[in-house]
Structure formats: C-alpha cells, structure tokens
Amino acid sequence: MYSYIDLFAGCGGLTDGFEKTRKFKGLAHVEWDKPSSLTLLNRLKKKWRITDAETRVLRFDIQRIDELFKGWDDTEFGTSRGLNALLPSSRKIDVLIGGPPCQAYSLAGRIRDEHGMQFDYRNYLFESYISVMRRIKPDVFVFENVPGILSAAPGGLPIVSRIRDAFSKAGYETLENFSDAKFNLDEYGVPQRRTRVVIVGLRRQAFGGSRQTKEILCDFYHRFRSDTSLIEKVTARTALRGLPKCFPKPCVVKADDGLSHTVNTAAALNHVPRFHSRRDIAIFQLLARDLMSGANKYHSIDSLKKLYTERTGKTSAVHKYHVISPNEPSNTIPAHLYKDGLRHIHWDALQARSITVREAARLQTFADDFEFLGGMGSQFKMIGNAVPPLFSFKLAGHISKLLQKHK
C-alpha cells in the first residue's frame, strides 16, 4: 500500500476517496476545525476500521509548523506527539494531499470583502502546505482549490506565480499553466456543476529528472482527463432519489420543536430541513412551481431581486433565490450553505424547502453512511468545503497507477 498524509483534511472528502481504493494508507490527517475533525475521526473508526484514528487525526493549527512535527501541549488543541511520531522510520511518504481553505481565493469571497480579501491570512496558508511538503518530501502531491486561485493576486502579485515558484524550488514538477489543471467535476459523475483546480506535482529526483518527470506528469493528466469519456452527467433528481420527503407542517411555530417540516430521522442520517418561516415556504412554493411548470416568470436576475424586495422589504446586490433543476446537475454546493439555503431550493413545491445536509452530501457524493457531526451550520460548511469523494476516488486510482508504473 502507498502512504499518504492529508493536510487541511476537513471532514475527509479526499481521505474517503483514497481509502476507498484500498491502495493507500493514511498516516496522518491534519485539520484545525473541531466539528470537521470529529466527523473525520468518526468516519475513520466506523467505516475504515482504523483503530488508532485518535492518534492519526491531528487537530491543530498547521501554521505552527514546528509544533505540528514535534508535538504540542495546548489548551485549545490538547496534546499530541506530532507528525514525527507518525512518520515511518524510513521517513518515506508516497503522497501528500490537501488544499488550503478556499474562501480567500473565491470570487464570491472577494466580492463580499471590502479589501478583496488581500489581507486575509488564508491567502498564504499554501506556505504551510509547502513547509510540510519540504520536510517530508513526498513523491507526489495533490493540491486542490477553487478556480478563483488562478486570478487571486493579494498584494498585487498573482498567487499562482508564488505557488508555482515555491513548488519548483522545492524540487517538484507541475504543469506550467495551472489553468490546464482545471476540472469540471460533473464530467466525473459528480451531480453538480463544480469546477476545481487540481495541481498534481511529482518530485523530480523520484521520477528520473526534470524532462522525464514532465513527460510522466503530462501523461497522468491526459489519462485522468480521458477518464470522463464514458461518464454520463448525473442529475440532481437521480442523486436525491429515495430520500424521505419532508413536507411543511400545517402550523409552523419555531418555539415548538424548531422544525417547520415533517422529518423521519430514522430513515436517513442528517436529513432534517432547516427551519423555514411561512413567508419563505410560500416563496419556495412559488419559485418551484414557476420552474417545474415552465412559466419561468422568475427566471431572470432582476425578477428574483424584485421578488426578494417585495416579500422581505429588503434589497440585495445579488439575487438570493435559486431552485435546483431536477433534470440537470445541481449548482455548486458551497460552504455558504451554513448561512442559508436560498440558492439551493428543492424543486418539489409540495416540500417547499431548501436542501438538507444529507441532500447536500449526496450532491457531493458522500455515502449515506457518512455521518456528519456538530451543528447543522458546521455540517453544511464542511460539506461545501470538501472534495467530492467520488472525484477523489477516481483521482486516487490514477495516482496509484502512476506510482505502480513508475516506482
């Protein structure tokens, strides 16, 4: 089996795909967010039967690089012997995977922030990733992020230039143009329109020098892209098929049980709609009927903004509402879902609600036995930030073939 370490592991989207191949063994999973760490820990123990998962999941701030390796005793993060204690005696690591938090690179994030997020510390978390990479020298690395990273320029210097130079100086071959590392995940069977940049790098010394390594890398990308040729795009209806329906209650009182809709918690994990007011339920019914009838009265941005103002008395610079079309892949599942679900309204007017955590998880290709811990907001956020496990599984399969062929 090949060894890997997962940085910025989140709830384990990348990890789940790599574990599913049965060709990789995770040595460590680094994540600072508590609900995500607990969710990942639970998954490793229950699904993958990893008995020492408590040791392997390192909940810690990756920016504290020396402590991350040597161990820590901290009031917030507890105690650990650190990464050094988990590395094999040979210090050989096959693959490093992960991707720094994407909010600072996202176009939406830059629009919302008055400074365009140029002062956001998350712009520079890639430096921590590279610091770990320099110390453990994996043969292969996977660096995943949002397409906005291609245009982000905090301080006026393109972030991709800094990242590419840092990878090269560390001894790794990457694609010259990171735009060529952009993937549409719906082409790999993920039932949503989700575009991501997946930078794979190979250590030159491990693959026979610069020229040969570049050829191997180009062949890898060619084969991985060719993996989409026989895949039909999966619709939202197909992805959510079989889940219990959740209908509005005749009388909605939040003080009652906090539920505006009927639920069947025994039928599916994490399948509870967030609370919706009578006003929002009526709006959802209106929009779902408009879509499914083909009337398209609320198809334009201006009409949606006008509806929002008429019903709420507020104004918005962007349109707030979007009903998922059942016959197409969903729109992107974002971390923003933790704030509200107005851009992810179910198409069934009788249900009149936004999607549940389980539905978001299905659209991200998480298995139904994947249990999300923490509050509903934390669950939505970790799902939106994750790499879809189906895509990760296919990526891991191609990486294992690369290692088998050339190592």
Per-residue pLDDT tens over the stretch 279-306: 999 999 999 999 999 999 998 999 999 9
Residue position matching structure tokens 């995500």: 36
In the three-class reduction of DSSP (H, G, I as helix; E, B as strand; rest coil), residue 72 is classed as strand
Record the tokens describing residue 302, joined without a space: 């201006």
Whether pLDDT at 101 is above 90:
no
Spatial separation of the C-alpha atoms in residues 68 and 81, rounded to whole Å: 9
Entry pTM: 0.93
CB atoms within 10 A of CB 403: 17
Whether pLDDT at 176 is above 80:
yes
Which fold, 2-234+385-406? Rossmann fold (3.40.50)
The answer to whether residues 5 and 31 touch, using CB atoms and an 8 Å cutoff, is: no
- Mind listing the pLDDT tens digit for each residue in 336-392? 999 999 999 999 999 999 999 999 999 999 999 999 999 999 999 999 999 999 999
Q: What is the pLDDT of residue 374?
A: 97
Q: How many CA atoms lie within 13 A of 332 on its CB side?
A: 17
Residue position matching structure tokens 């991707």: 99
Spatial separation of the C-alpha atoms in residues 357 and 269, rounded to whole Å: 9
Spatial separation of the C-alpha atoms in residues 51 and 96, rounded to whole Å: 22
40, 272, 335 from 390: Cα distances, Å: 17, 24, 19
Residue position matching structure tokens 């009182």: 253
Q: What is the pLDDT of residue 264?
A: 83
CB atoms within 10 A of CB 1: 10
Break the chain into its structural domains and give their ranges.
Answer: 2-234+385-406, 236-380
Spatial separation of the C-alpha atoms in residues 351 and 284, rounded to whole Å: 9
